[in-house]
Structure 1
């Protein structure tokens, strides 16, 4: 029986996987691919670009092979997280101020996946706070990532006190179609003083 090059390559791959699962290596003839059976390794960046341009992201993601998913993984997962550096603020004079903090995650290319923001607004008469409020928001910048929900949005102190503490925590997930492969819970906590 004669096999097409595509069918032969699939059979070789199946044989290799089956044998490696048993701790064996394929015969020498199966280990030496020729031009008709050599499959080019999937390129994660090309797959990512194709998905980014897709009009049916969930459908196209579901069609990816295991090899394509493995190649895509480094482009979608968190490789680095961080927070903005906002100094402790102690307002000893009368006036109003604003301070914005952020927590974020990047992939291996240094591209931002998502950012969580918290902005504190307050006024002081110099001895205590006369008003205080917190704004919270987020941005999602990379395919596959989404905001799930707020985990914590709390504030203590504020008007009549000498401090105002705000905590913001959110849940972001990487996945599609109800199948999440990564979950992150960035948190911002900041206290300002009169």
Structure 2
């Protein structure tokens, strides 16, 4: 699955040009021949550190060997997304519903009464599945067995795992009940850059959907609807 990336404006024109130059160069790099090895990973970190410490990232990247450009891109830039979602009963009614209503495919009966908590998690990975950054959203909702009666987002956090990427925080969120579903979505911002310039800004969303029958799903919509 492709990861949506936005190109952000740097603080001023002098800083914007190197960042845009580097962004254009990265898009054209062929990483097909790069292999995931400990030595390549170590070198990719060194390349990232050198680029992050440069005054002109575009010029620095342009001066690299083609093999080093490929290493940087394969290890440092977003390529895919991994997700997971978990659900748990929060009160005695929900516990009783779970014990009485679990079906073979893991979904609950249509009379699942009580309150439920769950979280959804999304991480963005490089070309080898290595984690670059991630986020999660936690929420609760209650049901009378036929109707979702309440919805609440309880937390949302994000963090990074690769040199050069930083988490800029939660920038958007909404919670509500739509078409008998508890829905809560969040949007976090992650930035690759340093020394006042920004090469890439990734504004990614994650949405929880809790159903009246205690099922829960996640998607990447930036909206309640």
* TM-score normalised per structure 2: 0.52
**Aligned: 1:110 with 2:102:** no
Q: 1:101 matched to which residue of 2?
A: 120
* CA distance, structure 2, for counterparts of residue 125 and residue 92 of structure 1: 8
Cα-to-partner distance string for 1:10-47 (whole Å, 9 max, x where unaligned): xxxxxxxxxxxxxxxxxxxxxxxxxxxxxxxxx86344
Partner Cα distance (2:119, 2:148) in 1: 18
| Residue 81 to residue 44, structure 1, CA distance change in 2 (3 Å) | same
Find the counterpart in structure 1 of residue 73 from structure 2. Answer: 73
The structure whose RCO (Cα within 8 Å, separation 6+) is larger is 2
Per-residue deviation, 1:137: 1.1
- In structure 1, runs of 5+ residues without a counterpart are 1-42
Deviation, structure 1 residue 99: 2.1
Q: Indicate yes or no: 2:197 matched with 1:179.
A: yes
The equivalent of 2:158 in structure 1 is 138
Taking the aligned partners of 1:151 and 1:114, their CA distance within structure 2 comes to 16
1:59-83 Cα offsets, whole Å, 9 max, x none, are: 9732784317734332211121243
* Helix, strand or coil at the partner of 2:151: strand
- Alpha-carbon distance in 1 for matches of 2:145, 2:135: 31
- CA 1:90–1:82: 2 relative to 1, 3 Å: farther
Q: Distance in 1 between matches of 2:190 and 2:108?
A: 29
User: 2:209 aligns to what?
Assistant: 191
> How well do the aligned residues superpose, as a CA RMSD in angstroms?
3.5
Deviation at 1:170, TM superposition (A): 1.4
Asked if the contact 2:52/2:164 (under 8 Å) is kept, the reply is: no
Q: Structure 2: where are the runs of 5+ without partners? A: 1-38, 87-105, 213-225
After TM superposition, list the pairs within 5 Å mapping 1:36-51 onto structure 2. Answer: 45-50=41-46
1:107 CA displacement: 1.0
Largest Rg, 1 or 2: 1
The 1:144/1:96 distance shift into structure 2, 3 A limit, reads same
CA distance in structure 2 between the aligned counterparts of 1:163 and 1:60, rounded to whole angstroms: 44
Give the SS at the match of 1:62. coil
After superposition, the Cα gap between the structure-2 partners of 1:90 and 1:112, relative to the gap in structure 1 and judged at 3 Å, is farther
CA distance 1:181–1:91, shift in 2 (3 Å) = farther
Counterpart contact for 2:78–2:126, Cα < 8 Å: yes
